[in-house]
Structure 1
Amino acid sequence: MSKLGNLGARLHRGEVGYDFVGNRKIWYGISILITITAIVGLAVRGLNMGIEFQGGAVFTTPKHTNVSVSQAETYAQDASGHDTIVQKLGDGSLRIQIAGIDTGAADKIKDKLAGDLKVDAEKINADLVGPSWGEHIANKAWQGLAIFMVLVVIYLAIAFEWRMAVAALVALIHDITITTGIYALVGFEVTPGTVIGLLTILGYSLYDTVVVFDSLKEQTKDITRQTRWTYSDIANRSINGTLVRSINTTVVALLPVAGLLFIGGGVLGAGMLNDISLSLFVGLAAGAYSSIFIATPLVADLKEREPQMKALRKRVLAKRAKAAADEETAEARATVPDDSEDAAPAVVGPRDQPVSRTRGRGRPSGKRR
């Protein structure tokens, strides 16, 4: 843990880092591939909508019914002629869900199930959902999601700027598409709990994105007054500075959700936990990915199109090119051999001078020596 903390501190100070923005085309390609797979899954398999959205009936048998889940599914399909979902509850009762039937058919199915399961029909609890009510719930869910998106864009445009709002919206659509596509591929039932899970993970995804955006806004206040960093460079530093924090919060959030999905829904057989736990698990992972690899690099792409940022990039690159040229020149001078060692050695000490004929003149005696 201490090593991870030291790494986080070094990332925050900019001593080390990964070029997320520089490799953004790789992340864009990965996201496009995953999104296309999710869309194909939605188009081919479609969503397994629960009875809350398409109408139907839910029959709950008495406690400790001595019938297996597979056998109950066979009985329910024979009685209704529709696909059924049977879940064994903790008290030993069975929850039999049949979609697309009306009230009249539900009464007949209930009597048929009572005979097959060998229980009293009065002890089977039946909850009916009309198709109009399910359609109404579905419309309300879509309206709530649309209102959420609009409010998010407005808030981010006011708090930050419109480019960040657009990038956050793209990241949210990316997360929703991937989550719903995985639902279609896995075949889990879509219930109101699924919608709650989607709205929850959208908020979490925005949390990570806003943390990076806030750091980016703070570091780019007077960006045009310097010539050391481009906007993409500072965006990359913002991602690296909050990277460990995003990873830690995501892992901590994923652990309990993974317990619900894999242990509660898989090992213990609490299938009703799958609808909300799968959306949370996939959405949390997709949200952390999009905040790092999609939202911030997209903001950098949009900002680099501005004339001021283009001019800044030219100045920064020119300064870096000049610094690189000066460094190469200095290295070249350092590697040039010194030829002064091959020159003739300097004369040290007294030298023999020729005798001057005027030597001794001007002395008081006037005589030569």
Structure 2
Amino acid sequence: MSRLGAVGHKLYTGEVSLNFVGRRKLWYLISAVVLVIAIGAVLIRGLAFSIEFRGGVDFQAPVASGSAQNAIPGVRTAVVDTGVLGRAEPIVTSIGANQVRVETPPLSTDNIAKARTAIAKQLKVGEGQIDYSSIGPTWGAQITDKALLSLGVFLVLVMGVIWLYFREWRMSVSGLVALLHDVAITVGIYALVGFDVTPATIIGVLTILGYSLYDTVVVFDKVRENTRSISSGSRWTYSEAANLAVNQTLVRSINTSIIALLPVAGILFVGAGLLGAGTLKDLSLALFIGIAVGTYSSIFIATPLLCDLKEREPAMRALSRRVEQRRAGAAAKSAASGSAGPAAVSGTPGGAEGGEPAASGEDQGANGTRQSVPATSRAQGRPAGRPQSTSSRSAGRSQPQRKPRSTRRPKGHGR
């Protein structure tokens, strides 16, 4: 932990810096490839919407003997043999170790009774032990419309809140693109693995969007702090200051994500995998994917995209030119001092020794170079430019003047 803390301190102070913003084209390419795969999975495989969205009849029955997983083929065959489904196929899954779930298209009351009797006979249980619920297609369509509406309202509110907080529309656009990126990848993974899209999935998606937004806002807040009044200076470009902000919040983002992923992974792999809880599986998968993808987008997508939009401003372009000119001048001075050698003292540009920064206006002479250092000062073992010290007794007292030898009186004369 101490080593991780030391790394975090170096990232925060800029002693160690990972160039996230400078390599943004690589991150864009990686995200583009993943998005193409995700969208292709949705178009080719499609999403497996649960019965709440498509409508139908949901049967749930206990298994008298054996495991529910072994009873699935027999239950499927028994329902198909009734002929109530026509050419449709029932969806039979297990709930836990001793319960079976059968989903069928919408059925009439008589057909529901026939299917119920067939399931009870196959599982050797009473018909009264089989619970069922009928969901009409209209109700499923309403659920779909409300889910899409809630997602749209959430995204609009996100843009408004970010703009009001930062007073910067580019941050709103970057945050929105990152959220859409997270939604697309999450939906694509659902299509790839074939998990049902249930109302719990929608809740999970909205939850991870809020988490991703929180992570992005934390990074943006540090970007704003680092870039405040940056246009009046010439030390950093906007992208460099934003990259420092990402590095400063990197350890916090990773730690927060790991802490959030651990319990979600426990729900997904232990609760849903071993216990077979369907609702937990739908919710935990959305949370697990969303937290991981949201952390990625807040670091690799949102801030680099913000820099792309911000660097288009005339003020930021002018800042980049000033920074380049300042660094080019410093490099030229450093090269000139290196070619002159250590013997060249007079007129040495600032930064000649040990890669020092260029001299400020106070350290430069009228010709724009650093004032020469007298060699006698160095020979006397004192720092250059420091005056000779005088004793307190002689301070302020006029010293006697020695006469030239030609005007001195010879000894022995004049008496």
Tell whether 2:116 aligns with 1:110: yes
Matched, 1:98 2:103: yes
Match of 2:236 among 229, 232, 236: 229
List aligned pairs for 1:180-329, cutoff 5 A. 180-329=187-336
**Contact 1:103–1:128 (CA<8 Å) still a contact in 2?**
no
Structure 1 Cα separation of the partners of residues 329 and 132 of structure 2: 80
Aligned to 1:354: none
- Give 1:141's aligned amino acid: A
Q: Structure 1 stretches of 5 or more lacking a match?
A: 338-363, 365-369
- The residue aligned with 1:142 is 148
Residues 254 and 303 (structure 1), Cα distance of their counterparts in 2 relative to 1, 3 Å cut: same
Give 3-state SS (helix, strand or coil) of 1:227's partner: coil
Give the TM-score taking structure 1 as reference length.
Answer: 0.87
Tell me the residue number matched to 2:159: 153
- The gaps in structure 2 that reach 5 residues or longer are 80-84, 345-409, 411-415
Name the CA distance, whole Å, in 2 between partners of 1:66 and 1:236: 59
Give the alignment of 1:7-156 within 5 angstroms. Answer: 7-62=7-62, 64-66=64-66, 68-79=68-79, 80=85, 81-89=88-96, 92-94=98-100, 96-104=101-109, 105-156=111-162
User: What amino acid is aligned across from residue 153 of structure 2 in structure 1?
Assistant: I
Once the two structures are TM-superposed, the CA of residue 115 in structure 1 deviates from its matched residue by: 1.6
- Are the aligned partners of 1:149 and 1:169 in contact in 2 as well (CA < 8 Å)? yes
Measure, in 1, the Cα distance between the counterparts of 2:2 and 2:208: 30
Give the Cα–Cα distance (whole angstroms) in 2 for the partners of residues 191 and 99 of structure 1: 16
Q: Name the structure 1 match of 2:360.
A: none
Letter in 2 for 1:93: Q
Query: Helix, strand or coil for the counterpart of 2:46?
Result: coil
User: 1:309 & 1:83 partners in 2: Cα distance?
Assistant: 61
Query: What SS is found at the alignment partner of 1:59?
Result: strand
Contact 1:172 1:205 in 2 (8 A): yes
Aligned to 1:60, the other structure's residue is in SS state strand
Aligned residues of 2:64 and 2:124 also touching (Cα < 8 A): no
Aligned counterpart, 1:349:
none
Over the matched positions of the two proteins, sequence identity in percent amounts to 49
Shift of 1:77: 5.0
Aligned-partner residue type, residue 330 of structure 1: S
Shift of 1:61: 1.6
Equivalent position SS for 1:22: coil
**One-letter identity of the residue aligned with 1:166:** V
Secondary structure of 1:228 counterpart: coil
- Judging changes above 3 Å, is the alpha-carbon distance between structure 1 residues 207 and 77 closer, same or farther for their aligned structure 2 residues? farther
Is residue 235–residue 300 contact of structure 1 (8 Å, CA) maintained in 2?
A: yes
What one-letter code is carried by the residue in structure 2 that aligns with 1:26? L
SS of residue paired to 1:305: coil
What is the Cα deviation at residue 248 of structure 1? 0.2
Query: How far apart in 2 are the matches of 1:182 and 1:335?
Result: 64
**How far is 1:102 from its partner?**
2.5
What is the Cα deviation at residue 78 of structure 1?
4.3
How far residue 262 of structure 1 moved from its aligned partner, in angstroms, is: 1.4
Mapped partners of 1:138, 1:196: distance in 2: 13
Report Cα offsets for 1:286-315 as digits up to 9, x if no partner: 000000000000000000000000000000
Aligned partner letter, 1:147? V
SS at match of 1:89: coil
Equivalent residue letter for 1:118: K
1:6-48 deviation digits (Å, cap 9, x = unpaired): 1111111111110100000000000000000000000011111
Matched, 1:179 2:186: yes
What SS does structure 2 have at the residue aligned with 1:317? helix
Q: Please give the secondary structure, in 2, of the residue aligned with 1:21.
A: coil
Number of residue equivalences: 337
Q: Kindly provide the amino acid, as one letter, of the partner of residue 97 in structure 1.
A: V
Residue identity matched to 2:58: V
Contact in 2 for aligned 1:83/1:98 (Cα 8 Å)? yes
SS in 2 for 1:19: coil
Give the Cα separation in 2 of the matches to 1:68 and 1:263: 18
Shift of 1:73: 4.0
RMSD: 1.9
CA deviations over 1:150-206 (Å, ceiling 9, x no partner):
000111111111100000000000000000000000001111110010000000000
Q: Alpha-carbon deviations, 1:70-118, whole Å to 9, x = none?
A: 433442354144241311336x332x13142224332221111112212
Which secondary structure does the structure 1 equivalent of 2:341 belong to? Answer: helix
Q: Is the contact between residue 220 and residue 231 of structure 1 (CA under 8 Å) also seen in structure 2?
A: yes
Residue identity in the other structure for 2:212: S
The match for 1:334 is 341
The structure carrying a bigger helix percent of its residues is: 1
Matched, 1:170 2:177: yes
